[in-house]
Chains A and B, each alone.
Chain A
């Protein structure tokens, strides 16, 4: 582990965003993960996405469970509140935090052990409730902190570093998220920043349960021949169905996709996704079709990436509960306490 603090000095030519923050203002502590870890690339993509979206860093709450991936919120958005919770239980804590203050942006970071094994239930339930969040699983198919055990997302037939073959069926979190009603579902690869950064931006702008399964090779325990989550394997078997860019509501950036191939999708907050189709017949507004496509491609040994499903008109948990527009944690005594007069009426009804 390293305990190096980052130097405070900024490069004078770092470009500030619309809020006047440079990319450095979105960074956190120095990572203590292994050199080359896919997770660090994802942290970097999160930093880039937040910087490009002009998000005030302190308005993001970052939550995680336990594991290598769950350590990463310390390594980005250093001015944000973060919460490294208990193993597999980040989704419930994030749900509670979200209920307390609907105005913040919630970023849940988890791993395949944290979400597909111990936390499978909480993963599924937070998604089916439509919690407004971005839930990222940094999926390496292996337990890193405890040194190399298979996780539940390891593909059947894949080999561990020690040569052990996994006989259990792998859990596909993307399919599960689709079944559980996630309204934004994507898969990406930590080594593909061009695809990942726009996906994170779009997911952060999405109002509802957004899920990104990000394959993130473990350089120590799952980057060998026989692994289906190694850099080489994923690069060879990656089938991107689309590329996209996100145009935030207030910005007028144009993108360079050729017209005709690009589908604009307006999101709740006024931002627009420009979706550049790669797989000819792939329709990301079709939940059932997405599930079928994923299964078919998976059977061929391909890893489908890109924006797999989007419901731009999604409702979130607060809408379902009909909560007030202001954060619950700002309500005053007067708004919360019914007072002595109401209590007198209740007393009278109990005699």
Chain B
């Protein structure tokens, strides 16, 4: 029986990298959004430029489930290289769309799916002369065909084409013609599928944007003026988006000059060096990188901790260790980031769950770095960073002030305020600082990574060193109150079991919680948004007999951090781990938690 679904199915495009399919696929997703139906779209791509397989998965979800569901209902198989596994991935009763120009033996198909062939290559060869045109328009033709098969409004796609090629009327006309070619073929030769898109009103004012772009925009609004970076997937587009936004938003209208400085450095060490130098000198500065970059930056991160210099690092996590899976997603840098450095170090982490939070935390990170005078990490991952997500619109309060932290300027120094660069003054562990050049005779100090007394003078005296390290702990405790607090999502009925999760796992977790509840499994849920951990997190753990910690890495890094920082009995925290490089799915979470809950009945006192 062919699958039947309205506004709730998964389409996967199997393409050849470099064939120009990305923009056509993205247009397909956006057309459905414009019809008021939420989509979750994800690129799945290998580490190469041209010729190898790449996939694009679109989940059409009127219910608004933005995580991956798992499984494929309609496969758009445009890559002969991956044909067999693509066909195998289709759900029973699902659909296969393919280029039927060249006949394929029956053995290449399955008899439990519906096969839809459109002779795309033949149509292109008949209509176009140039090889590049044949290639690019083929993508638009299949979008037109799919629109007809799935009932997507063709006018919406025409509008998107008009916006994309605004001012280039010839291109618009050519693309619309190709779109119609696909649509008309289906109308003449085929009938629509039982998978349908129907106009709804479930998107609202939400926007569709990549987390990297959102974080970059957050850095613009957060007042970052210096960016130093080194290209590394999946963080590159963050620095590039920052460049683009600055060119639009940060030019002095009178002089045409830049109110920002961006340096593509020679490596990640130089990137963080530039950031530390700029932070030392009173500019808001950041770098964007991924796991291997964090490894290289570690010495400087330790310096930033000990010499107390603001810095912001956007870590867009990918699969490790080593080069690992550079184009696959993981949440596997938590431990490396939290404790980066030699000696005793720890650093605040912000854990955004979607591009909306990438923007908010991207801006907030600079206030926190200045306030705490230390490195602050914003932990994205490839899934949030490089995929467009449907997210709440960006918001900004024009009355918001940048928090520059504890800085003594000329007037305070001139008035004789006592200045000790590492002197505890207010009991929060945070000392005052001065910017270089502030005052001719007061406020100068020598910054070093070696031990020094509260007045920044070199000292190897044990008590002086210990006093300083204890103050740094007090400062970290202050950070606990400043990082974003966790978000509680209570079960509909009282339960002794809970889940803790963070970041890009969030939509899949929420969907799974719904399914579990439907099956009678009730779990309270707490989303962690910052490190050091707020007290509520440990209270949540204490209030439940068993807590599942869901994350996308092998070694249960969040769980490890929780156990370590909260001195938690490890048996209270059950790891649920997904780390094959693909984004975690609701199905995986539902199945794993169901299995774990059935394997061990809750402790007697948990019974209601």
Instruction: Tell me the A residues contacting B by CB distance below 8 Å.
Output: 56-59, 61, 63, 73-74, 78-86, 89, 91-101, 103-104, 121-122, 125, 129, 317-318, 321-325, 328-329, 331, 333, 335-340, 342-343, 346-347, 350-351
Contact = CB atoms under 8 A, between A and B. Distances in A.
B258 A323 contact: yes
Given A58-B439, A129-B263, A325-B255, A96 B446 contact: no
Contact of B277 (A97, A323, A335): A97
B450 A61 contact: no
Contact of A81 (B249, B279, B400, B437): B437
Contact of B283 (A56, A73, A101, A338): A101
15 contacts: A78-B444, A81-B445, A82-B444, A92-B274, A93-B276, A93-B280, A98-B277, A101-B283, A125-B270, A323-B258, A328-B260, A333-B402, A335-B259, A338-B220, A343-B396
B188 interface: no
A259 B34 CA distance: 80
Nearest to A3: B458
B81 to A, nearest CB: 34
Contact of A336 (B225, B272, B447): B225
Most chain A beta-carbon contacts within 10 A, residue among B252, B261, B272, B393: B261
Interface of B: 33-34, 205-209, 217, 220-221, 223, 225-226, 228, 249-250, 252, 255-263, 265-267, 269-283, 285, 299-300, 303, 393-398, 400-402, 434-441, 444-450, 458
Given A323-B258, A329-B282, A96 B275 contact: yes
Given A84-B446, A84-B447, A96-B278, A339 B300 contact: no
For B278, B281, B299, the residue with the greatest tally of chain A CB atoms inside 10 Å of its CB is: B281
B281 A351 contact: no
Given A58-B438, A92-B273, A336 B444 contact: no
Given A323-B257, A337-B223, A122 B270 contact: yes
A92 B440 contact: no
Contact of B226 (A58, A89, A100, A340): A100
Nearest to A318: B261
A145 B272 CA distance: 26
B207 A336 contact: no
B91 to A, nearest CB: 31
A322 B258 contact: yes
B449 to A, nearest CB: 6
A95 B434 CA distance: 19
Contacts of B261: 99, 318, 321, 323, 328
Nearest to A92: B273
A339 B446 CA distance: 37
A84 B450 CA distance: 9
A94 B277 contact: yes
B279 A96 contact: yes
A57 B438 CA distance: 11
A35 B314 CA distance: 47
Given A79-B440, A322-B257, A333-B401, A95 B273 contact: yes
B207 A347 contact: yes
A337 B221 contact: yes
A342 B437 contact: no
Given A73-B446, A80-B444, A84-B448, A99 B263 contact: yes
Which among B282, B397, B435, B436 has the highest number of chain A CB atoms within 10 Å? Answer: B436
> Among the interface residues B208, B217, B225, B439, which one has the most CB atoms of the partner chain A within 10 A?
B225
Question: Counting chain A CB atoms within 10 Å of each CB, which of B260, B300, B438 scores highest?
Answer: B260
A165 B557 CA distance: 50
A97 B396 contact: no
Given A92-B265, A343-B395, A97 B436 contact: yes
B249 A342 contact: yes
Output the residue of A63, A78, A324 with the most chain B CB within 10 A. Answer: A324
Contacts of B33: 351
A347 B436 contact: no
- Sort A-B residue pairs by CB-CB distance and give the 9 closest, nearest first: A92-B273, A96-B277, A100-B283, A81-B436, A96-B274, A93-B277, A100-B281, A329-B282, A96-B278
Contacts of A338: 220-221, 249-250
A94 B277 CA distance: 6
Nearest to B214: A350
Contacts of A103: 437
B225 A331 contact: yes
A78 B445 CA distance: 8
Contacts of B436: 58, 61, 80-81, 97, 101, 104
Contact of A85 (B260, B273, B394, B402): B273
B402 A336 contact: yes
Nearest to A128: B266
B212 to A, nearest CB: 13
